[in-house]
Amino acid sequence: MAFWEEKTLDEMTDAEWEALCDGCGRCCLIKLEDEDSGLLITSDVRCQLLDGDSCTCTDYPNRQAKVPDCIKLTPQNVREIPWIPTTCAYRRIAEGKGLAWWHPLVSGDPQTVVDVGVSARGRTFAEQDVAPGEWEEHAVDWPEWEPPEQL
């Protein structure tokens, strides 16, 4: 039995926790908040540390020092953060759903995340390339998309 099927998020080792990340990069997209309604809107603008081609953090160990509002996901906060995608392995495990068929730990291939359209790879803009008046033009709904259970 795989570790994610027999352990809760709280019981996982650091290595197991890190292995759950499917590398989609969607948690590293900048979220905008509507000042009037409080509604969170996901943009296609990536954090300054996210590599848009590989969907990896360019300085993962120091990310919170370099990006003060970077949120470290924990077994506690993945249950509370409203913007975590429904496809996120951490959220799925917390909700008792298990990993999706396209998750690299299940499929054996990190490319399946890209193939099903979950990945932000090649679909984002660098934070430093977006002018202050252009943020609203970058609101997108594709990060909320969820692929079918099986293709």
For 25-82, write each residue's pLDDT tens digit.
Answer: 999 999 988 888 988 888 999 999 999 999 999 999 999 999 999 999 999 999 999 8
Q: Do the domain assignments include residue 151?
A: no
Model confidence over 116-135: pLDDT tens digits? 999 999 999 999 999 988 98
Of the pLDDT bands very low, low, confident and very high (cuts 50, 70, 90), residue 101 is very high
Could you tell me if 63 and 49 are in contact, meaning their C-beta atoms sit under 8 angstroms apart? yes
The residues with which 126 forms a beta bridge, in sequence order, are 46
Residues of the domain holding 100: 3-144
Q: Do the domain assignments include residue 22?
A: yes
| Domain tally, the chain | 1
Q: Do the domain assignments include residue 54?
A: yes
Model confidence over 67-91: pLDDT tens digits? 999 999 999 999 999 889 889 999 9
Provide the whole-model pTM. 0.88
Q: Do the domain assignments include residue 149?
A: no
Could you tell me if 95 and 9 are in contact, meaning their C-beta atoms sit under 8 angstroms apart? no
Q: Do the domain assignments include residue 84?
A: yes
Q: Do the domain assignments include residue 81?
A: yes
As to burial, measured by CB atoms within 10 angstroms (0-12 exposed, 13-18 middle, 19+ buried), residue 9 is buried
Q: Do the domain assignments include residue 120?
A: yes
